[in-house]
Amino acid sequence: MGSTSAENHGTEGVGRRDLIKRSAALGLISVPTMSFLSACASSGGDDSGDKAKAGKKTAKNPLAVNDTAGMEFVLFDGGFGKEYAEDAVKIYEKNFPKAKVKFSATQKIQSTLQPRFNQGTPPDLIDNSGAEQMDMGVLAGKNQLTDLTPLLDAPSYDDPGKKVRDTLRPGIVEMGRLEGEKVWILYYAYTVYGVWYSQKALDSLDEQYPETWDQMLAVCAKAKKKGMAGWTYAGKYPYYLPFSLYPMIGKVGGREVLDAIDNLEPNAWKHPAVKACFEAYYELYKKGYVLKGTPGLDHIQSQTAWAEGKALFIPNGSWVENESANVIPEDFDLAVSAPTGLDSSDKMPFGTIWASGGEPFIVPAKAKNASGGMEQLRIMLSEASSKNFTGKVKSLTAYNGGTDGVTLTPGLKSGVAALDKAGENVVNPRMQDWYVQLQKEKIGVSGLGEMMAGRLTPAEAIKKIQAFADETADDDSIKHYKHQ
């Protein structure tokens, strides 16, 4: 990754902590090192033969967990904290009182666990997240992961009449596949991406959230008259811009435009919908509706300026409520909306939003107690564990529900409402999972970042990004994925 990437920003102290918080929810950072790749490549054979024997399969133990076998769980210690996982471990211990559970949390997932994958002694369950996330494609490609289909087909924790897979939010199962039908990853958190704002600030302008781009420009003009910028964003990490720009492209041109971009199809970026949306965003810059100095701000600085009322809108994910809790005023009335579209000719309705899984959990192929790792996940996907997570960290889980009776914070309440409004119109661009460097460094920093700073026209940005995408498509050293 180049020096502009967020991983290299503030490697210690507050900057580092902020990065970790954000990465936790994004689940997008992936920095495989050569030693890790070779470690995976060299750890084929040796099955140490000390795997836990299967236990007795019963209605309460559908995965046939050995009730005396130890279970080890390593969590990424990020913005969601570790309390939610510790609470779920207590339930496992209660259900299997003879089993000893070893639980630990670290920010250094790769450096801690890489040697253990190499030695064939990995833990049973891993939250593979953060700046040191291991490359999922490499792990799956080297047969290092357990297929989680048995978990998905097991009865759900609360209702034996329903399979676990039937209790999950849209896109979770699909996201866990890399190719083919096997599911290697269970994304536990569920992130709503979109345009975040203060409902109080919007009310003070006597405006509704804009549904067309003409309305967006009119709201920004009104804000500017009151001394408030229309927009700000993480200028140093402009891969935040796609959180609202990608679903706008999908809304304007249809899902197939986003699929073509993900599939690295030739000329995918030259689609008229892409051009129209780039030009719309560029207009924000041209008309002076972007907070001055934004290109020099990191995610925390831009969120702080926005929370202080210097800008009305910011593209972000639902972790922003927890991450900015110390700067968002009590009466801010945080809200999120699906992106504004162009006009009534858009292919998808207003409300089309990007929402997808974050916090990727994996069970290693060489886990001694893989069924124990899966059972821990089954517990975490219960209504009670899901509610516990949502109540504690202001985020939704992959479990489709778990909000009844939980006092929802303003942002979370707004996120749930946005998902309800979207219905089936939820898009899930995969660029940030499949091609991390292309998404962050090239599309984000070199393309969108330069355009929004006024250093590239939309046509130049598109040409540059298309060239980057073609380069990635032609590079045989990069694993390529396709929407199925």
Same domain, 44 and 169: yes
Residue 307 contacts by C-beta under 8 Å, 6 or more apart in sequence? 324, 327, 328, 329, 332
- Same domain, yes or no, for 137 and 51? yes
Does residue 222 share a domain with residue 94? no
**Do 37 and 174 fall into the same domain?**
yes
Domain count along the chain: 2
| 253 found inside a domain | yes
The answer as to whether 371 is a domain residue is yes
pLDDT score of 117: 94
The predicted pLDDT at position 152 comes to 98
- Examine residue 45 and state whether it is found in any structural domain, yes or no: yes
In a domain, 439, yes or no: yes
Same domain membership, residue 108 and residue 233? no
pLDDT at residue 394, rounded to an integer: 85
* CA 61 – CA 58 distance, rounded (Å): 5
Residue 415 lies in a domain: no
Determine the pLDDT at residue 49. Answer: 53
Q: Are residues 331 and 259 in the same domain?
A: yes
Single-letter amino acid, residue 475: D
Residue 1 lies in a domain: no
Same structural domain, 208 and 169 = no
User: pTM for the full model?
Assistant: 0.80
Residue ranges, the chain, pLDDT below 50: 1-48
Give the pLDDT confidence score for residue 323 in this predicted structure.
85
Using an 8 Å Cβ cutoff, are 362 and 75 in contact? no
- For residues 128 and 136, the answer to whether their CB atoms sit within 8 Å is yes
Considering the domain architecture, whether residues 380 and 260 belong to the same structural domain is answered as no
**CA 231/CA 210 separation, integer angstroms:** 13
Residues 230 and 314 in one domain: yes
> Is residue 479 situated within a structural domain?
no
- Are residue 445 and residue 305 in the same domain, yes or no? yes
Number of Cβ within a 10 Å radius of residue 360: 25
Q: Which residues contact 337 (CB under 8 A, 6 or more apart)?
A: 194, 195, 197, 209, 414, 418
Same domain for 388 and 299: no
The CATH number of the domain holding residue 43 is 3.40.190.10
Write down the pLDDT at residue 425.
95
> 463 lies in a domain?
yes
Residue 405: the pLDDT is 86
- Rounded to the nearest 10°, the torsion over CA 57, 60, 61, 62 is 70
* Dist CA 306 CA 217 (whole Å): 18
Distance CA 108, CA 86 (A): 19
State the residue range of the domain holding 56. 6-191+357-407
In a shared domain, residues 300 and 437? yes
pLDDT of residue 217: 98
Residue 176 token pair: 């866990």
Cβ atoms of residues 371 and 66 within 8 Å: yes
| Helical packing angle, 272-286 and 458-474, nearest 10° | 130
